């Protein structure tokens, strides 16, 4: 069984990906902030864990991972050290159609 944690699972993009994951052999953590209605249909699946958290900073990201990892029904998941998450800096290139705003 493979493990997947989907951040922003209530987004339109995630709604396209989640059904494909449900067809595979995955244990799935679905993170959402306030739009529980978008992820509720997946709550009935045994391999799905809903995780509610509004992300305001890196500590919230660590909390989401911790909650996903500690879920007993997910089995053994590779342990992640919080320091790995806190030290990680996401370097996101600009998309082809995005323009950098002044000051950034």
Contact 74, 68 (CB under 8 A): yes
| Angstrom distance (rounded) from CA 74 to CA 5 | 11
**pLDDT top residue among 72 and 35:** 35
| Angstrom distance (rounded) from CA 72 to CA 82 | 19
In tens, the pLDDT along 12-66 reads: 888 888 998 998 888 899 999 999 999 999 999 999 999 999 999 888 888 888 8
């Amino acid at each position: 069984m493979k493990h997947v944690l989907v951040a922003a699972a209530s987004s339109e993009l995630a709604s396209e990906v989640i059904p494909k994951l449900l067809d595979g052999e995955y244990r799935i953590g679905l993170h959402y902030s306030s739009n529980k209605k978008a992820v509720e249909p997946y709550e009935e699946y045994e391999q799905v864990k809903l995780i509610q958290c509004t992300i305001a900073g890196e500590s919230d990201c660590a909390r989401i991972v911790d909650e996903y990892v500690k879920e007993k029904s997910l089995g053994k998941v590779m342990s992640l050290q919080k320091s790995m998450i806190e030290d990680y800096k996401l370097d996101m290139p600009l998309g082809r159609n995005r323009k950098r705003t002044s000051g950034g």
